[in-house]
Structure 1
Amino acid sequence: MDLERDYDFWLLDLDGTLVDVEWSYTREVFDRVGDRLGREFTDREADILWNGLTGSRDQQLEEWGVDPGEFWNAFHDEEDPSVRAEQTYLHEDAAFVGDLDVPVGLVTHCQEFLCEPVLDHVGIGDWFDAQLCCTEKTGWKPDPDPVQSVMSDLGVGHNGHRGVLAGDGACDVGAAWNAGLDAIHVERVGHERRGLCVRGDYRVRSFDELY
């Protein structure tokens, strides 16, 4: 299987796909957010929200009776970019991205004030020819708008260009399909922990399985 030859461009998610963060950092952030909101988050709840295991994080928060706006304001206030970067590590099987000889773009829900320090720390900023950190203005995956924006920046479209988007969440697969791309789902957490099976054009536990 030679996916580099099969596709004219690649798009990738960041958190959970190319990089991950130590659990201790996640737990500490949710402890501080919980203190601010007057609500404790269990390990399972923190895992669900951090990894987006049930799909829409806002919908999940609402089901738990937590106001999404208040949560995200507190969450972003409690994230320290330098600490986040220091406790982030690169998945070894993601190294192939640096060797791709086609246009490569990054489409991530990681906010810009966190994304840049993380990219610098793990040394992958030069992997991408274009990147976008989703906001309310750009839209969030599975909305195709942020994907199509990066495609435009890369100078690729559907007129003869075949692309693929790789990510660890159902929203990544949805964004790929909504934008007319193939989707690779890399299952970092396992179906049992996720509680469901995310389907994509390719379903792998490691990018090594693609080569």
Structure 2
Amino acid sequence: MSETEFEVTVDKDGTELNRDSSTYTATERSESQVIATEYDFWLFDFDGTIVDVEWEYTRSVFDRVGNQLGMSFSDNEVEQLWHGLGESRNAQVQSLGIDTDTFWSALHEVENPTARAEATYLHDDAAVLLNELHAANIPIGVVTHCQSFLAEPVVDYLDIGDWFDTFVTCTPELGWKPDPDPVYHAIESLGQDPSKPTAGVLAGDAPSDVGAAWNAGLAGLHIERHSPEQRGRCVLGDYRVDSLDLIRHQNSIQ
């Protein structure tokens, strides 16, 4: 999780969309039309899309944060904050009466990169799709808000470094999704022309991933790891799936 993650969806012209979930449509195209090989390259978000963290680790992190702040977090508050569900994380923190800078400082202090890596697991559907894309020689990249000091130990622990042709960690200098700049950086790192990015797709579990895809001229695929009821809204996208298996099963990659 990152204090810098945007929790809004933006339209293709960069305009923020209405947050009222009743105004959202689920998808623009059905899952059956997701054809993996019609794209020249694939970009992915990391946390929540390719990997996730065991609940015990997440719960223990918030217990330690709570001890530092002299308060406790409910399981629902932990779930919402960790996965970025509902309103923005900073808005949720403020609603709990906590200064946002104080919260993020405490969280970063208690996070242990090694312990987090050991508690991280691959989503099976993502692993299969990534291996099939790799076998088809389709370039693969990651654009993530997960900072290097946390992401690198995870990649090493899971031994998946050779799955990706580029791995971009967002920074204040590079920008944060839905800003297209980190996406452009990833496209260039793949040897592609970011001024002609229409042959690529970006898949992620957050509204900011679809926003970044659209702002960079890519197709946006939303993988819904949590129900719209948990999130409090549906997320617009060119594609919307609740499992990456849908892509693999419906479109065999030769």
Q: Where does residue 60 of structure 1 map in the other structure?
A: 92
Deviations 1:69-127 (A, max 9, x none): 22222111111111111111101101221331222111111111110111122221111
Matched, 1:191 2:223: no
Matched, 1:164 2:197: no
Contiguous gaps of at least 5 residues in structure 2: 1-32, 249-254
**Structure ranking higher on relative contact order (CA contacts 8 Å, 6+ apart):** 2
Q: Where does residue 151 of structure 1 map in the other structure?
A: 187
Q: How does 1:77-156 map to 2 (within 5 A)?
A: 77-95=109-127, 96-100=129-133, 101-156=137-192
Distance 1:61 1:120 in 2: 32
Q: Which residue among 218, 227, 233 is the counterpart of 1:181?
A: 218
- The structure with the largest alpha-carbon Rg is 2
Distance 2:162 2:74 in 1: 37
Q: Relative to structure 1, is the Cα distance of residues 138 and 130 closer, same or farther in structure 2, using a 3 angstrom cutoff?
A: same
TM-score, normalised to structure 1, is 0.93
Secondary structure, counterpart of 2:221 in structure 1: strand
TM-score, normalised to structure 2, is 0.78
Distance 1:72 1:43 in 2: 18
Aligned length: 211
Once structures 1 and 2 are overlaid, which stretch shifts more, 141-150 or 201-210?
141-150
Distance 2:43 2:56 in 1: 29
Distance 2:217 2:172 in 1: 22
Contiguous gaps of at least 5 residues in structure 1: none
Tell me the CA shift for residue 160 of structure 1. 6.5
Give 4+ residue runs of structure 1 displaced > 6 Å after superposition.
none
Distance 2:169 2:95 in 1: 26
Give the aligned CA root-mean-square deviation in angstroms.
1.6
Tell me the CA shift for residue 161 of structure 1. 5.1
Q: Which amino acid aligns with 1:58?
A: N
Tell me the CA shift for residue 181 of structure 1. 0.8
Contact 1:17 1:168 in 2 (8 A): yes
Distance 2:141 2:74 in 1: 35
Contact 1:164 1:181 in 2 (8 A): yes
Distance 1:117 1:135 in 2: 18
Distance 1:54 1:11 in 2: 25
Q: Where does residue 70 of structure 1 map in the other structure?
A: 102
Once structures 1 and 2 are overlaid, which stretch shifts more, 118-127 or 162-171?
118-127
